Amino acid sequence: GLPPRVRIHEVGARDGLQNEKATVPTEVKAEFVHRLAAAGLTTVEATSFVHPKWVPQLADAERLFPLLGDIEGVHLPVLVPNDRGLDRALALGARRVAVFASATESFAQANLNRTVDEALAMFEPVVARAKAAEAAHERVHVRGYLSMCFGDPWEGPVPIPQVVRVCKALLDMGCDELSLGDTIGVATPGHVLALLAALDEQGVPTDRIGVHFHDTYGQALANTLAALQHGVTTVDASAGGLGGCPYAKSATGNLATEDLVWMLHGLGIETGVDLGRLTDTSVWMATQLGRPSPSRTVRALSHK
């Protein structure tokens, strides 16, 4: 069966904008996040506290985050790769953070300048410190992204046990949830189900798993539906289909949030999202970026 409700983890302002050639002014980013929240998205990933040279598009995190303020009922998670990133995020009052691991050695090097295990060792104190803050009644929620769960541009198809090992490591160190990333968008539904079944077998609770599909081969919605049928209820998507990944050249945009919402509402699954307001937001952002949204739903609804 399908779940009655899905929580959309909106990544357009982070995964989307980190890969756009145009540098978006900080005020425009803040308006983007506010409009996404006003459209009913309750988790809006805001930015990354990474090295500014690695992701120049998000180098304004210190200026952006305070502009967002507290938005009632909306979580604003941020990416933190290491202690330095966590310090920067906590100093600004971030309450949700995400570390980002890789299932493959090639991408761990390209994205984090580390082996897979060195990257895990870098995240361990980050997660531990977030948990310590939690003990002081300042609950900091930690998401663990895992990239290249299906295929890798350098290594090809990624063996499922290799992915499961890093998933378990992230949960064992204390991550509250996992996001399974198909960074380059090569997954197909059978592969998704095989990975989810392997995680089941290892006792990983499905309610701690989110899915993060990129739409390179047009499979993101099919993969999402397979994951929902398996019991997953957290789905990452990017407004207007913005995005990619600067350290994985063959990656195109994420699953577009509008395409996801169209499918979910069609299935009678609640999201809390106002599709009209969301589409208007993506049309506006496309104007800011000077290129049309690749989302089929955005195009269909905005040419009515």
What separation in angstroms does the CA of 112 have from each of 98, 100, 108, 147, 241?
Answer: 14, 9, 5, 11, 25
Place of tokens 């289909």: 241
Which span sits near ligand HMG by CB under 6 A: 63-71, 82-90, 124-132, 160-168? 82-90
Report the residue from 123, 145, 150, 262 that binds ligand HMG according to the rule CB under 6 A: 145
Of 28-36, 75-83, 202-210, 258-266, the segment contacting ligand HMG by CB under 6 A is 75-83
Q: Indicate which single residue of 6, 12, 15, 166 sits in contact with Mg ion (rule: CB under 5 A).
A: 15
From residue 210 to residue 249, what is the string marking binding to ligand HMG with x (rule CB under 6 A)?
--x--------------------------------x-x--
Which position has the token pair 């407004």? 239
Q: Give which of Mg ion, ligand HMG, none residue 9 binds (C-beta under 5 to 8 Å, depending on kind).
A: none
Q: Which is nearer to ligand HMG, 119 or 301 (CB)?
A: 119
Cβ nearer to Mg ion, comparing 179 with 279:
179
Please tell me the distance from the alpha carbon of residue 227 to that of residue 187, in angstroms, as a whole number: 12
- Are 60 and 26 in contact, with CB atoms under 8 Å apart? yes
Measured distance CA(280)–CA(260) in Å, rounded? 16
Q: Cα 285 vs. chain centroid, distance in angstroms?
A: 19
Q: Are 246 and 285 in contact (CB under 8 A)?
A: no
3-state secondary structure of 280: helix
Q: Which helix (H) or strand (E) holds 234?
A: strand 234-237
Mapped onto helix, strand or coil, the DSSP state of residue 237 is strand
76/301 with CB nearer Mg ion: 76
Q: Is 245 a catalytic residue?
A: yes
Among 151, 153, 181, 210, binds ligand HMG (CB under 6 A): 181
d(Cα 6, Cα 193) in Å, to the nearest integer?
A: 18
Residue 16 binding ligand HMG, by CB under 6 A: no
Query: What is the amino acid identity at position 271?
Result: T
> Among Mg ion, ligand HMG, none, what binds residue 282 when CB lies within 5 to 8 Å by partner kind?
none
Rounded CA separation 213/246 (Å): 16
Q: Which is nearer to Mg ion, 15 or 105 (CB)?
A: 15
Contacts to Mg ion by CB under 5 A: 15
Contacts to ligand HMG by CB under 6 A: 15, 18, 48-51, 54-55, 79, 81-82, 84-85, 88, 100, 111-113, 145, 147, 181, 183, 212, 245, 247
Catalytic residues: 245
